[in-house]
Structure 1
Amino acid sequence: MKTIVLITGAEVTRKFLHNQLQECLGEFLFIKSYAIDEGINKNDICGDLLVFSSKTAYDRVNRINIDIGHIPFVIAKRTFNFTNINKLFSLKPGSEVLLVNDLKESIDNMIEDLIELEIKHITFIPYYPGIDKYKCYEIAVTPGEIDMVPKGVKTIIDLGSRLIAMSSLIEIMNAVGYYDQRENDISSKYVEKMIEIEEELSITNNEVITLNRGLERVLLQLNKFQIKDYKNLLQFQRSLALVENMKSGIREDLYKKRYYAKYTFEHIVGESKEINEVKNIAKKLAGTNLSILIEGESGTGKELFASAIHNYSSRSDGPFLAVNFSALPENLVESELFGYEAGAFTGAKKEGKIGLFEQAKGGTIFLDEIGDASLAVQMRLLRVLQEKEIMRVGGNRITPIDVRIVAATNKSLIELVDEGKFREDLYYRLKMGYLVIPPLRNRKEDIADIIKEFFIRKRSKMKVSDEVAEIFNIRQWRGNVRELINTLEYAYEFCDSGYIKEEHLPIDYKNSRTHSNKSIKKSIDYELKTILEEIYKYQNKNIVIGRKFLSEALRDKGLNFSEQTIRTKLNHLQDLEFITKSKGKSGTKITSRGIEWLKQNG
């Protein structure tokens, strides 16, 4: 096995590039490495090939009078580490930043590479040691040369040490006479490494474009060296196909993993005052970057609101990830949310795993049933909200995140706080934005709209009978909108006519109607009595009222009925011969029988 000797300036660069060479070429070559800053002597310079990390490293070796003799050498070309390049997308378009490196030549090469990667929304101002004049800016970008950043810079974006480019890896293998035998192995390893790096990138449109361009550059480099015969052409085409599959695969993965928001505010059905107020608040919150707590009973549509908020926000192009604490085993919650490092626990993947918070970068994470989170998880969530950073399970590296948190619960979190089961500080951190979704029984006028929307989506002309509409308006709907939809689904399958009748409803509806006649009668009596009183009152004033007017008058009495519901109830009163209905000026009038009933039940 032949030996190559890597020579760098700094120790940190040596370690980084040694690992890369070991990963890509370690199967074929023995790799030694030395950093000039750590001291180097002539005896270290022995091998089949020298690899200098830069022209600067080569010049420094010559300046300290170390004779490299007749050993062949390669001065490596370097490219960006795609794991870190996505940090540049957090900068606003038009930003001016210092680009810091050891030499002007290095900076010029960096700028050229960045432009090739379509990073054109930033103006880079060169800075290197010995520059005559420079203006200090608030932000500096550097490829691992943090010590060279001038004083006065407030924010440093460290892109990390740059990788040895594919063209240089091929040059190294050519120099030792191995490339013809190992070309496919090297290229596939390099492309695999790029794909592995891609998986760590947050999935946003700009970053996907950047990644694709970077991969295309890699394959163009392969093209210069590889496409020499039919066999290599096939290998190259497979690499191209791999990248093309990645492009479509990213979005396919989003779909498969449900990393997208399915609903918008248009999916929230209802025009009641109660639901419109909540929708208006939700839209205003969507325009902020506040964390949001959504409270509401089971089935009220908390995830629907969370999804709509995401799609209405500036993060709508980013991922939307949902996790349900009640559905996840306790021992998996932390690893799912925060990810884990290799070997973190028994059964862990050898390469580790990226967590949902990292995958949601640039988007929204929806924490459903937050009241079921353990105190240990609550403590880690608090850190995320406070510091905007996470640490993987079994790791020691802090990772900054850019994620909006929307949490939901059907429990009273303040009661859990009083019981010591929920952290008070986390409660108020989550509650920076606050929504309470009203139960269906408090907005029964929306029932008719929900039914109508249900049949529209079914593309059906089916309707519910008046008796079923009455049952629906009496029911308390403990399962809320979800219960109503499930009931309609059931009845839709059993109905063999154009109208859903009581016989088509689930059996518990019939039982509850049978066993609760007294309470239902009491409810009906109160509603009918109030409607009759309003009709009688305005009739005595010689005022003709329609359904809309009556609906508004009843709302003042605490009865929120839609015009459709009013029509159903008026039909019922007409069947009882308590009122008469006619079109035109006569309108709705109470009958003598209706007046008599009012007197008896007054």
Structure 2
Amino acid sequence: MKNKSITLISGSRDTGDSLSEQLQLYLNKEQTFSLIVLDEFCPESVESDLIIFSSRSLEEEAREKINRLKAGRFISGRRTISHKGIDSLVTIPAGTDILFINDDRESAEESIEALKKIGFNQFNYKPCYPPLLETEGIKTAITAGETHLVPPEVSKAYDLGSRVFDYPTLAAILSCLEISPDEIEAPSFRYLKKIVSTSAKVSAYSQKINKLNSQLIMLLEGSGEGILTYDTSGTVLMANENFRSSLTPGLESPVGYRLSEIFDSKELLSFLLKSRKEEGGRFYAGGKHFSVRKTLHENSSTYICSIVFSRGDMEETVHRERVAFDHLIGKSESFSRMKKQAEKLSLSNFNILIEGEKGTGRKLLARAISNSSHRKQQVCQTVRLEALDREQMESEIEALVSDRDEGTVILSEADLLPLDLQKKLLFFLIHTPEKKRIISTVSGDFYKKVESGAFLPELYYKLKESYLYIPPLRDREDDIPLILKAELKKTGVKLKVDRELISYLKSCCWSGNINELINTVRTMSALAETDVLTLACLPEGMIPDQRKYDRELPKASRSVLMAIEQLNKKGIVTGRAKLTILTDKMGERLTEAQIRRILKELTAEDFVRKEKGRYGLFISEKGRQALGTGDSSSKRQFSDFP
């Protein structure tokens, strides 16, 4: 190994320390190694035999900030998960739902793929990153050094440590440093030792299986589903309490009985005794609607059957919530035109795609169409894909294609359907076009998913045999007083509404649309101290946070801009670390990766100016005007707040 100078440039201290530790395994004492953390110090120039950037995005930032970079070779690194905490993952049961938490989407998804490639593909991963730190009830998490981002509702978090350089990057570095195979022998043995340690943990974990098996019956009895096992002749081998109490309440135990002695539905019996390995369906028996999924265990010639009894949306199917077009409130031109089109389309058999922002009443419109259609006496099932995990989605689609009822399916957030399930649904619609009517709801630009390859164009056009678009509430402000009046009528409290309040509500953006307006109205009516609702009745924390003319600058961007202005006034050089601290004090929980992205946007739109070297960022006149602090800016955007 020739003696060379190596300089590593990173954005944060944690990343720099982790990568330095990795590189030091291969360097000798004669090598000159230095670390530059841009958030702490930005030199005027850097000269070295080899300059390594922690990532491609960091290289772009470094070249903007540092006036002079000179090296014999530049390497922009790619990073992957560290093996430090890998052995702790073997104790997690297969099939566990797991959040992978990182500071941005790309890093989270790359880390999940890395875990799958090395064999940890037995879990159901969900990428989790700011600002989308929603757990969806998942209690287990894995993170790569970002433990501060783990939500408090997560009960168990596994930290793998900060991400390190991947092998292609490491190989490029070693090649540049002319390191011989003999010199990497010791680091290789360390890695082998880690593999042995992981194997030992797997062995210890397998010894717990017998104990877990003894608890299996307890788990089956505590399941929310009905569990039934039977052999190929149709003789019941086992049934848990949920099954017994729901479908065989007159029997002490159905074990030993034939299925034909328990069920009188020929359709259900035919389904249960088919020899297919795995399939699902929806049936009615014993006065109950339920979904069935069965699997044939070939080694023991035993069927394992899970039964989910209808509740929630399926209760809506049975009791037929009578939503009519009269329940859709609005007289604005765009809404009235859409409503008239919906009434005509309800009498057809076309599949309908309903597009609109969340909170505009898409599912309400879908139910009104179903209740006015020729199929109104048939079953109407709502499948809320946004509330289902991957396995539940598959179960619902299997049940849908197996169900023989010629009713209506409301497919909520249809664009969330995975590609393999899209193919199943498409096959069903092509071969049984008249069997079911699908009313799909989506938010955002659905066709972008088709263009990106995330959604099958054939299925897109099958679902979009006809189309309706619900305009957002901000584009139908004349409907706001009507919705306000209707909601106040539901409360049963007689209240008048001040004109100034109505004018203010009309000027708001309503990012949550009708749902946000209804929540605001209900809270105001509950807290009203007189018989008149005024601006003063708007409760703190529920005042709509955006005005129509203030939508160009998002809240997070505004906080970053305010932080830059504060640092400029104090003569302090700006940096992501300082901006993270200041925005956190303003109530914005932003990671350094998010701030980096926001800074690029603010710079591109000329809200801030970027200077090379140690001078940092400066707020522009346009930026000051956006904050209301510029020479020519108007203060009117907050003057009419209560």
TM bin (shorter chain): 0.3 to 0.5
Q: Give the strand-richer structure, 1 or 2.
A: 2
Find the structure with the greater CA-based Rg.
1
